[in-house]
Chains A and B, each alone.
Chain A
Amino acid sequence: MDKIAELRTIVDHPYSYLQKLKDQTGQKIVGTVCSYAPEELIFAAGALPVRLFGSDSGIHRADLHLQSYCCSLVRGILEEALSGRLDLLDGMVFPHTCDSIQRLSDVWRLNLVKPFHADVVLPVKLSTPSARQYLLDVLKKFKTDLERGLAQEITEANLIHAVKIYNAIRALMTRLYQLRCENPQVLKGQDFHTIIRAAMIMEREAFLEDLAAILSELTKTASEKKPSHAKRLVLSGGICSSPDIYDAIEDADGVVVGDDLCTGSRYFESVINENLPPLTAIAQRYAERASCPAKHAGLTNRGEGLVKMVKDCRADGVVFLLLKFCDPHAFDYPYIKDMLDREKIPTLLLEIEEQTQAGGQLQTRMETFIQIL
């Protein structure tokens, strides 16, 4: 599909896309590092929130600031910044997630001059009333910081509009997830991945249009694609930035039917209540959506969520994609695996580095795993 090819060009060369956008329209661009970045507010301030990933050109400059036992995502993002490739950013927003992102923000603040640098120190627990109140307070403060940093007032109307756009994107993405779950043949894993990445980079209203077009096309052609007998898999972990994994799965006669990833369903899940005041509603979504392991929303909620997802998607197995040196995910893995074991759901653990590409070893492991399903 042409539309997807267009998106792929953007995803493969995000900086040229962003630079062009900036040159042509004066668009302000703000980098973010995690799915807890309150993008709706950045959008309402007239800036484009862009989720950053590492580079594939190796780590050199970041070595002078972060040791080798820091996750490759954090080191990679710092490398991109230090090498000047992120000079086009007008600002950076660091939501408080893990110990590594926390220090990335400090290192960034001390070494890279940006017109705008904001820490959004969200609560770590999401379930108590005082934490909810604090979450709302933090968003209010962030709104003021943005207004000052970008010299742009955020009106109620801007916020309401931002909520509408994000809700629309999330609704369509949810539809895309459903479509894939019903008939995984509708699009290749690589293409699915491209759409997700584009959602984190592209000017959001333009992306919404493209997404709507892609969806209606897919819905039309869905009935022609005959269902296959490939084994159905769910991906679980933090980020998945290597599209090769999808190829490896498909080559081994598997398909991805669902995911529990920060760069996946966790980013799109759950809508913002449009009947509440916007900030309150945005805070509510962050508190109630499926949580990332760096946040506390109960002792077993993530495991239960995954078991339910596997059942809902009628999946045959789960592939854990754990980024090396990522503490929050590594701590949750044993208990979640136990819960899946008890349900007799087979699992495969893959330890990944952000920059490395999938190799032959991955292919073999995937084949062995899919054969036993």
Chain B
Amino acid sequence: MNSDNSDFLKTLGIYLLSQAKKFSLKFKKAPTMKDLMMVYYSEAKSARLTGKKVAWITSGGPVEPLIAMDIIPIYPENHGAMIGASKMGAGLCEKAEAMGYSNDLCSYARSDIACATVNGGPIGGLPRPDMLVCCNNICGTVLKWYEVQARYFNVPLFILDTPFCHTGYSEEAARYVRAQIDEYILFIEDACKKKYDFERLRQVGHLSYEGQQLWQAVLDTAAHRPAPMSAFDAFYHLALIVTLRGTKEAVNYYQQLLATMKDRVARGISVVPNEKYRLLWDNIPIWPRTRWLSQKFASHNACLVADTYTSAWCGAMKYIDESKFLDSMAEAYTRIYLNIGVDEMAKMVIEMIDKYNVDGFVLHSNRSCKPYSFGQLDIQRIVEKERGIPCLMIEADMVDDRSFSESQISTRIDAFMEIIKDRKKTEG
């Protein structure tokens, strides 16, 4: 291993340790999140030495076809989240602005674009890609962002175009996406210079499905009162279902996590001591402020028991047919949470409100993420009408700390919690 790499591992270790202190769990029978991420990133960083390929892929993109061919998938958005969590967002965003990128663009994109040119950030930059895979099922931003990186790294770009489903999944969209899955396979064969291994893909497909089921089961434990985990824990444990979906490691990890949560439920352990109020969170976490927010809500005996963000990685499971993974994948990837109409999103929010039995709804109006945030005001109205629970919208940014006004948000959370407390009192 060269010195570059050992430097990287050192930085990575420091980063993971700082994050792990907050949420990590030790399992008897499986490695911790820190161990897994350490192995994952160091494998990716040394891919050049071991002859493996690295693909950068969007968080909503189909990763299974890559994993089946031993290509290491890297998620720039996950990197963006790390940048945000380590509070390095503002600096890198400023750098991107100096490069000409408007301050109004998505801060994941801005910080990643800036980071690539300086190998900065919490883990010293991402491993160089051999190819880029962009699936626009989350937004139009990723298309532009990956074009920027394709020019910068001068590597092939595959675009999986998943037409937006305003009111349903049309036949022509189904044909189009299915055809592109075949093109994707050809793209991978071309990049690896070898025949595609469909048998492996079948296995990976099963593991992916299993991982998603386990992840859903983990999230479901928070339906228990008191909740054994909160959305803040989910934000932390999410990394593997995004990054290593389709591997045995992810399945093992979530089995252990599920067992731990079930055990907590059995013993009545709650994550927020004296949990009295249960809330639902919408949109991407405010990464640099997760700890502050979790403490803030806990101080009101409130627990964020669920969120629309971490459940997005299992929300389209209903469309997957395990025995026909390749075919059903097209639909599952096209109909994910951010690629559907506002009314359908509202319906899913209401299902979550009922399932997790929540008393209030907190919406993060995220300047960075337009497809997630535009429509929130209508979702809020629908929720207020259908379920009559108090809603709070806070405007911030998931990475760029400069948009966070602590005193103002603190006051608004206090006021919101007062409303919830009053209602609970009168409801008896």
Contact = CB atoms under 8 A, between A and B. Distances in A.
Interface in A266-285: none
Interface in A72-121: 96, 98-100, 102-107, 109-111, 119, 121
Contact of B378 (A69, A107, A131, A296): A107
A148 interface: no
A66 interface: yes
Interface string B94-131: 00000111101110010000000000000000000000
A327 interface: yes
B102 A330 contact: yes
B183 A128 contact: yes
- B100, B102, B148, B167 — which one has the most chain A CB atoms within 10 A of its CB? B102
Interface in A254-306: 293-294, 296, 299-300
Contact of A100 (B109, B166, B370): B370
Nearest to B162: A124
B377 A66 contact: yes
A99 B141 contact: yes
B315 interface: no
A110 B342 contact: yes
A137 B159 contact: no
Given A131-B176, A299-B150, A334-B101, A327 B166 contact: no
A331 B99 CA distance: 11
Given A106-B166, A137-B176, A124 B136 contact: yes
A327 B136 contact: no
Interface in B266-323: none
A357 B183 CA distance: 48
A64 interface: yes
Interface in B126-176: 136, 139-141, 143-145, 147-148, 150-151, 157, 159, 161, 163-164, 166-167, 170, 172-173, 175-176
A89 B357 CA distance: 43
B159 A125 contact: yes
Interface residues of B, number: 48
B148 A331 contact: yes
A54 to B, nearest CB: 16
Interface string A321-341: 010110110111111010000
Contacts of A168: none
A102 B365 CA distance: 17
Contacts of A133: 175-176, 179
B373 A294 contact: no
- A111, A137, A333 — which one has the most chain B CB atoms within 10 A of its CB? A137
A110 B161 contact: no
B375 interface: yes
A334 B136 CA distance: 22
Contacts of A111: 378
Nearest to B373: A67
Given A69-B104, A105-B166, A137-B175, A332 B377 contact: no
Nearest to A98: B140
Contacts, number: 142
Given A99-B374, A299-B147, A331-B105, A67 B100 contact: no
A125 B161 contact: yes
Contacts of B365: 67
A123 B161 contact: yes
B367 interface: yes
B31 interface: no
A137 B343 contact: no
A154 interface: no
Nearest to A332: B144
Contacts of A102: 140, 164, 166, 371
Given A67-B365, A103-B342, A137-B176, A124 B143 contact: yes
B13 interface: no
B395 interface: yes
A96 B377 contact: no
A118 to B, nearest CB: 10
Interface in A318-373: 322, 324-325, 327-328, 330-335, 337, 351
- B101, B166, B376 — which one has the most chain A CB atoms within 10 A of its CB? B166
A332 B147 CA distance: 9
A92 to B, nearest CB: 12
Nearest to A336: B100
B313 to A, nearest CB: 20
B172 A134 contact: yes
B104 A67 contact: no
A160 interface: no
B86 to A, nearest CB: 25
A296 B99 contact: no
A138 interface: yes
Contacts of A337: 100
A60 interface: no
Interface string B366-409: 01001101111110000000000000000100000000000000
A218 interface: no
A70 to B, nearest CB: 6
Contact of B166 (A119, A123, A134, A300): A119
B257 to A, nearest CB: 33
A100 B379 CA distance: 16
Contacts of A351: 102
B273 to A, nearest CB: 35
A69 B173 contact: no
Contact of A106 (B99, B148, B172, B341): B341
13 contacts: A66-B377, A67-B373, A99-B140, A121-B163, A124-B136, A131-B176, A134-B176, A137-B172, A293-B144, A322-B102, A327-B105, A327-B140, A331-B141
In the A-B complex, the 10 residue pairs with the smallest Cβ-Cβ separation, listed nearest first, are A334-B100, A331-B144, A137-B172, A103-B374, A134-B176, A106-B342, A130-B179, A330-B102, A99-B371, A99-B370
Interface of B: 99-102, 104-106, 109, 136, 139-141, 143-145, 147-148, 150-151, 157, 159, 161, 163-164, 166-167, 170, 172-173, 175-176, 179-180, 183, 341-343, 365, 367, 370-371, 373-378, 395
